[in-house]
Amino acid sequence: MQVFVRENNVDQAMKALKRKLQREGLFREMKARRAYEKPSEKRVREKAEAVRRARKAARKAAQREGLLPAPKKKLLTPGRPR
């Protein structure tokens, strides 16, 4: 993973790095590895994650087909360059 520091702005680079790590799920994995997870708890967690993914996929498919309204777009605030 790589983050570039522009104009010696380390704070902005750290923020970008944390955002990338969050998207990759690294913080969640570190938290999970702190303590032992029983196999039964692991099965329950993985099942819940699978259900969540399936519901999300079904919701996205319904939105594409027009059965559900599309999520509202976030408006970018003027003056904040991206």
Separation of alpha carbons 82 and 80, rounded Å: 6
Q: Are residues 28 and 3 in the same domain?
A: yes
State residue 79's pLDDT score: 66
What is the C-alpha separation between 22 and 82, in angstroms, rounded? 19
Q: Determine the pLDDT at residue 73.
A: 82
Q: Are residues 47 and 19 in the same domain?
A: no
Residue 81 has what pLDDT?
60
44: containing domain = 37-68
Same domain flag for 5 and 29 = yes
Same domain flag for 5 and 28: yes
pLDDT of residue 72: 83
45/39 Cα distance (integer angstroms): 10
Q: Are residues 29 and 13 in the same domain?
A: yes
Residue 15 lies in a domain: yes
At 45, the amino acid letter reads R
Does residue 75 lie within any of the structural domains? Answer: no
Mean pLDDT by 10 residues, the chain (82 residues): 91 95 93 93 96 96 90 75 58
Answer whether residue 53 is part of any domain: yes
Count how many domains the chain has.
Answer: 2
Quick check: is 14 in a domain?
yes
